[in-house]
């Protein structure tokens, strides 16, 4: 199973995603389901007109598109992502100062979101382990692998394939009681960013 390559993020996409609500909208839309502003507003507990505004901004940046073929009538606006995933692409040439600033702003915001998610998971884990919260709301696993860059890339590809199969099953077999789960694959060289490299 070969997955489509992530859509390389452009400066307008990166700038659009510096807004926290737009990042939340894109996260929800990653399920692959077509969405209406009212659907998103209900799930995000935000006013529908605010969601509509941000949907238009995401569309202008090229991250989502309107899907009239899925609409119930001409007034119904349905939105889908323009790609199954988005990612930072390694440039063939140096990027401009403006592009680098957009990349840094996006990465900074993504980092804050991940820190918040990890903080919430770590605060919940003792509650679950002590039996005060009987619902498994998160999973946290950590390991170390000794692999080549190519082998690690293959592990990432296998992980993305597992996620793609899970999304396909969820679409093919709808069930009540499903929740939105944020899944993050983070792999990094052990010495990344350390002065001694180790």
pLDDT recorded at residue 38? 93
Classify 64 as helix, strand or coil. Answer: strand
What does DSSP assign to residue 6? P
- 122-160 pLDDT per residue, tens: 999 999 999 999 999 999 888 999 999 999 999 988 998
- Asked if residue 7 lies in contact with residue 82, where contact means CB atoms within 8 angstroms, the answer is yes
pLDDT-based confidence at residue 78 (cuts at 50, 70, 90): very high
d(C-alpha 137, C-alpha 39), whole Å:
23
d(C-alpha 70, C-alpha 113), whole Å:
32
Classify 7 as helix, strand or coil. Answer: strand
Domain boundaries, the chain: 8-88, 124-185
DSSP structure string for 81-139: ESSS-EEPPPPSSPPPHHHHHHHHHHHHHHHHHHHHHHHHHHHHHHHHHTTS--S----
pLDDT recorded at residue 65? 95
Q: What is the pTM of this model?
A: 0.78
Overall CATH class of domain 8-88: mainly alpha
pLDDT recorded at residue 197? 63
pLDDT-based confidence at residue 175 (cuts at 50, 70, 90): confident
- 14-58 pLDDT per residue, tens: 999 999 999 999 989 987 788 999 999 999 999 999 999 999 999
List beta partners, residue 79.
35, 66
């Amino acid at each position: 199973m070969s997955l489509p390559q992530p859509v390389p993020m452009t400066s307008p996409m990166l700038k659009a995603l510096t807004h926290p609500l737009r990042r939340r909208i894109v996260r929800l839309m990653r399920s692959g389901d077509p969405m209406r502003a009212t659907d998103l507003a209900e799930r995000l507990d935000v006013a529908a007109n605010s969601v509509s505004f941000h949907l238009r901004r995401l569309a202008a940046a090229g991250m989502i598109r309107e899907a009239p073929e899925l609409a119930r009538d001409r007034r119904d606006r349905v939105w889908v992502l323009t790609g199954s995933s988005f990612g930072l692409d390694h440039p063939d040439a140096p990027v401009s100062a403006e592009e680098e600033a957009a990349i840094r702003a996006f990465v900074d915001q993504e980092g804050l979101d991940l820190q918040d998610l990890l903080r919430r998971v770590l605060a919940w884990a003792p509650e679950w382990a002590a039996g005060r919260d009987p619902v498994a709301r998160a999973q946290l696993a950590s390991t170390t692998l000794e692999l080549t860059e190519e082998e690690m890339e293959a592990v990432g590809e296998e992980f993305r394939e597992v996620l793609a199969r899970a999304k396909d099953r969820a679409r093919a077999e709808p069930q009540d009681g499903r929740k939105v789960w944020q899944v993050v694959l983070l792999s990094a060289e052990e010495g990344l960013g350390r002065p001694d490299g180790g």
